[in-house]
Amino acid sequence: MTRKYTCGHSGPKRYRLNVYGSLTKNIHGERYCPDCMIQYVRKRTVRCALCGLPIYPDDAVALYHESSEGLSYRDRGHRIESCYLGCLRRDCCPSYGFFAGHWTENGYQPAF
């Protein structure tokens, strides 16, 4: 079964992408066909410097100083001045105590 997406293309009614080992789930209401979604993810998704999993636009993020321990993916993580972005998944930031802002389609937006 196929459907028409708002990007103008047709594609499968349902699909999921494997992004850095994490399966996507309904990113932006699936307004993009699979091909356009792949391009969207490549341009606007960054990786957590701690676990390496994706950080999507609108996700809450933490900032970790470059001297912090445990930045296993710092070479693939996104750097902002002297800090790296981290996700707020339970394994990386169980208490959400390091919340610093959000990753957006336009980059990092601080909360404070």
Mean pLDDT of 19-48: 84
Q: Are strands 107-110 and 83-87 parallel, antiparallel or unpaired?
A: unpaired
**Averaged over 40-60, what is the pLDDT?**
94
Radius of gyration of the chain (CA): 15
| pLDDT computed for residue 25 by the predictor | 67
Higher model confidence: residue 91 or residue 62?
Answer: 62
Mean pLDDT of 22-35: 76
3-state secondary structure of 28: helix
Distance CA 95, CA 111 (A): 17
Helices (H) and strands (E) in the chain, counts: 1, 11
pTM of the model: 0.84
Which residues, 6+ apart, have CB-to-CB distance to 34 below 8 Å? 11, 12, 15, 17
The SS3 assignment for 10 reads strand
Mean pLDDT of all residues in 86-108: 90
Q: What pLDDT does 29 receive?
A: 59
Mean pLDDT, the chain, whole residue set: 90
